[in-house]
Structure 1
Amino acid sequence: MNKKWMIVVLGLTLVATACGSHGLTDKQQEQKKTDEQALDPKERKAILGKLDPKIVEAENAFGLRIHQALSKLETGENVLISPYSLSTGLALAYNGSAGETAQQMQTVLGWNDMGLKQVNAANSQLRSILEHGGGVTLNIANSVWIQNDFVMKESYLNTVKDGYGAEVKATDLGQQESINIMNNWVSEKTNGMIKEVYSKPQDAKAILINAVYFNGGWMDEFNPQLTEDKDFTLADGTVKKVPMMKQEQGFGYKESDKWQAVRLPYGDGRMHMLVVVPSKDSSLEELHKQLWQDPSVWRSDYEFETIKLELPRFKAELSDKLSEKLIDILKNAGMKNAFLQEKADFSAMAETPLYIRSIGHKVVVDVNEEGTEAAAVTSIAMPTGAPEPTKPVVMTVDRPFFFAIEDRDTGAFLFMGSIMNP
């Protein structure tokens, strides 16, 4: 019997922006809104007590495996990903999977010892913790856009509505007007940072979108008057001039003879950027090996030190060339059936056979004196079928380095990357 294969496109969008960017000039008003949304300490403690740490461990480990595979392509380009976006996007697809397809997905995502209900509950709790508090704004929104003549299972729709807060909208995806409405939804949820996910009508039966908006300024901003052009040495020895931000401040810090690491807090300190730079007699390649083998080295035991810090002001993004390698990376990791028309099983999503046709992941990170602006888009197309400090520690980030934007309480990586060329 011939199978009728249709097209489903899942687009998942992650966005972050620094305080003061994109028209948010009144910081006090933004902070007041953030504080009103924050969980009180008892509520926060209660949710943290329920959160299964395995969901964060799996998400970070998955992100590091993707980071490792992309870095080993040795293109000399910046490697940036959003582990949170990738895991959340694939979680929406995973909820529609069954059989061997589901088994492969849960293995690659690190959820083998977690049932589906446990995964969804943990993702819901993690979302609540990330969204509420920390002195930053982090809003997460999901939506499911369904072609008028296509039927998705009520059980699937109820799951994504209840567990992920997804809005369900029936429309004609083959009409430009519907695409415009969808793009307007995305623009609204991302505060205008991403205005368009599709430019023309789609031959699709459903589109799933995950949008996250982050707004966080440094707890201690860099003085832009101190920023000056200085040398940055690339991996091949080439030297270029980059705008180097400077400040001398107390931060969480640790070091070895091979690297220096500092945590730069946002907002009230719950979220921070981890910056790890190899020593001059080491390399980012050596740092990567240790990172992929045991990332726990950078999780704890930071001392409060006064740091004389120099950090590039940079804007970097994941190239389309690297993004296109994601399907091969996931296949090599063991997630094979999801991409094979005759083997994919997404029967928990719809009666019509589905498979994943493509995955796109776009990431942009902009670090400046006020804070960090970052955006990530993951799209999945499925054709059916402190102590008193002593003297300052000098930390000059003038060579390729690793960074991560991390939630302190949960340890979740929202973004991570290696900056080869700022």
Structure 2
Amino acid sequence: MRGKCSLLLALIWLASCDWGGGSEDINTPKLRTLQVYEREMVFSSSKFAIDLFHQLMEAEEENHFFSPYSIHQALSMTMNGNEGEVLEEFIQLLRYEGLSTAEANKAAKELTQFLKELDNKVKLNIANAIWYKQGYSIFPDFKETVRNYYRAEVADLDMLDPQSVNVINNWIANQTEGLIQEMVDEIPSNAVMYLVNAIYFKGDWKYRFDTEKTQKAPFYISPSREVEVDMMELNEAATFRYYAENNLRYIEVPYSTGQFSMGILTGTNHNLDEVIEAFTFDNLENWREQAMEANFILKMPKFKMSKKMENMKEDLIAMGLERPFFFHPDNFTLLFDNPHDELKISRVIHDAFLEVDEVGTEAAAATVVEIVERVSMPSGPTIITLDQPFVFFIQEKHSGALLFMGKMGNPELL
């Protein structure tokens, strides 16, 4: 049931800009002209979102849901700890080719603030935080960048304390209204930094569905296979932006003032693979431009879904971010100003939740980038201290004969 819907729900964050379908509701959206670098940021994050969507769809799961904005933000923060070839890999992955690092950071700050303040009737929270291992010292420039441009909370953390995992998990739960719980299972002993993004969205439909009209109805996975869903239905025809070509239909289902919407792309022949193949950045721009207002009664499933990716490492490597996932002296050279061993990203965890009902949509997601240090043998001679009871014996090497045996249990009694 949720395969088609999950395809397009990744677009929910892309609908933040006015693509030609303004609305005249009681609350006027706080629109302003986007700066050139902000528009470049929209293009970059949109291209990244669609690239990632196609990468994740290769897993052939029937349903999927994630927040490309959250992942893009977390990796953008992480990008700032690098330089040279490693930085270039981040730039290529995040599609920042048209922006300098400074412009990307500035655009991330201003675009995020714009989205959060755009619509008073939509609740949107985007927050960042960074925890680093106690005893380590962060480069002042990195700390200033993430605090200034990503509004990140930056604090040290006793990562050897088993309870420290609760600090990260509780922060994520608070930022997502409790929808994302216990995201991090444990903190490994060689962890040195966690870069975390959390996002929460709650918006009411501009045209609400009447709960009394919701009833069981078939959802056709294929012409010969159907499942039963709770199908919502509007009481009367409403105005939507709509575009159709060949076997594809593009619909914008607006929230509140219409500045946020749920984009839906579906087919007419039950061929989801065909829909996915058509979903490109250029096509999306074309559908938005060509869409026109149309009046119709909309029916759509009521549903809830969640998806956790325990580690996005292989997907991100496949998309070109390689070196940061393997210990290398060039990794994260701009993070710490005290001596440390080689670093790498060990995990990129992503967890997302979505609920669509008659009133509107509630969605939350969080992304955690875990950076660890290579555990090397200490330089100089190893010191082993026999400071507890032990067994000992005297043996002959060639024969293996044991000549004497004993134990040391309490030296005080000798």
Of 241, 263, 277, which aligns to 2:228? Answer: 241
User: Contact 2:165/2:184 (CA < 8 Å) preserved in 1?
Assistant: yes
Measured after TM superposition, the shift of residue 243 of structure 1 is 0.6
CA pair 69-188 structure 1, distance change in 2 beyond 3 A: closer
Matched, 1:287 2:275: yes
Cα displacement (A) at 1:172: 1.2
Deviation at 1:289, TM superposition (A): 1.5
Structure exhibiting the larger radius of gyration computed from Cα positions:
2
The residue aligned with 2:65 is 80
Q: Does 1:259 align with 2:248?
A: yes
CA contact (8 A) 1:51 1:126 kept: no
Q: 1:317, CA displacement in angstroms?
A: 3.1
Residue identity (%): 26
Partner of 1:217: 204
SS at match of 2:114: helix
Say which of 276, 291, 294 aligns to 1:302. 291
Q: Which residue of 2 aligns with 1:162?
A: 148
Name the counterpart of 1:332.
318
Shift of 1:297: 2.7
Q: Determine the structure 2 residue equivalent to 1:3.
A: none
Report the secondary structure of 1:275's partner residue. strand
Give the 3 Å change call, closer, same or farther, for CA 379–168 of structure 1 in structure 2.
closer
Residues 22-51 of structure 1: CA distance to partner in whole angstroms, max 9, x if unpaired? xxxxxxxxxx9xx7xx98x5xx425x2354
Checking the alignment, whether the CA contact within 8 Å between 2:157 and 2:164 is kept in structure 1 is yes
> SS at the partner of 1:357?
strand
Counterpart secondary structure, 2:250 = strand
Q: Say if 1:315 and 1:367, in contact at 8 Å, map to a contact too.
A: yes
- One-letter amino acid of the counterpart of residue 231, structure 2: M
Unaligned runs of 5+ in 2: 1-9, 13-25, 375-414
The amino acid of 2:147's aligned partner reads: K
Q: Distance in 1 between matches of 2:57 and 2:165?
A: 35
The match for 2:92 is 107
Change (3 A) 1:235 1:149: farther
Q: Partner of 1:93 in structure 2?
A: 78
Q: Which amino acid aligns with 1:364?
A: F
State the secondary structure of the residue aligned to 2:183. coil
Question: TM-score, normalised on structure 1?
Answer: 0.75
Aligned counterparts of 2:361 and 2:35: Cα–Cα separation in 1: 30
Q: Is contact 1:143-1:168 (8 Å) kept?
A: yes
Q: Distance in 1 between matches of 2:351 and 2:241?
A: 30
Partner secondary structure for residue 277 of structure 1: strand
Counterpart mapping for 1:38-49 below 5 A: 41=30, 44-45=31-32, 48-49=34-35
Paired residues in the alignment total 344
Q: Is the 8 A contact 1:263 1:273 kept in 2?
A: yes
Partner of 2:332: 346
Per-residue deviation, 1:177: 4.1
**One of 265, 269, 273 as aligned partner of 1:276:** 265
Alpha-carbon distance change, 184 to 357 in structure 1, aligned in 2, over 3 angstroms: closer
Q: Which amino acid aligns with 1:127?
A: T
* CA distance in structure 2 between the aligned counterparts of 1:179 and 1:371, rounded to whole angstroms: 33
Q: Is the 8 A contact 1:251 1:263 kept in 2?
A: yes
CA drift of 1:199 comes to 4.7
After superposition, give the CA deviation of every residue in 1:150-182 in whole Å (9 maximum; x if it has no partner).
Answer: 222111111100111111222312224433333
Secondary structure of 1:121's aligned partner:
helix
How many Å separate the matches in 2 of 1:357 and 1:183?
A: 18
C-alpha distance after superposition, 1:346-403 (max 9, x if no partner): 1011253321112222222211111112222222222224xxxxxxxxxxxxxxxxxx
Residues 315/253 of structure 1: CA separation in 2 closer, same or farther (3 Å cut): same
Aligned pairs for 1:69-218 within 5 A? 69-75=55-61, 77-134=62-119, 135-200=121-186, 202-203=188-189, 204-218=191-205
Q: How does 1:14-29 map to 2 (within 5 A)?
A: none
Aligned to 1:300, what secondary structure does the other structure show?
A: helix
Aligned to 2:405: none
AA of the residue aligned to 1:317: S
| 2:390 paired residue number | none
- Alpha-carbon distance, 1:79 to partner: 2.5
Secondary structure of residue in 2 paired with 1:45: coil
* 217-226 or 253-262: bigger deviation: 253-262
Instruction: Go from structure 1 to structure 2 and tell me whether the alpha carbon gap of 1:265 and 1:241 turns closer, same or farther (over 3 Å shift).
Output: same
Higher relative contact order, structure no. (Cα contacts within 8 Å, ≥ 6 residues apart): 1
Aligned counterpart, 2:369: 380
Secondary structure at 1:197 match in 2: coil
- Stretches of structure 1 lacking an aligned partner (at least 5 in a row): 1-13, 17-31, 386-422
Structure 1 Cα separation of the partners of residues 353 and 41 of structure 2: 25
Q: TM-score when scaled to structure 2?
A: 0.76
Amino acid at match of 1:205: V
Deviation at 1:232, TM superposition (A): 1.0
Q: CA deviation at 1:319?
A: 5.5
String of CA shifts for 1:227-248, please: whole Å, max 9, x gaps.
1111111148421101111113
How many Å separate the matches in 2 of 1:144 and 1:328? 23
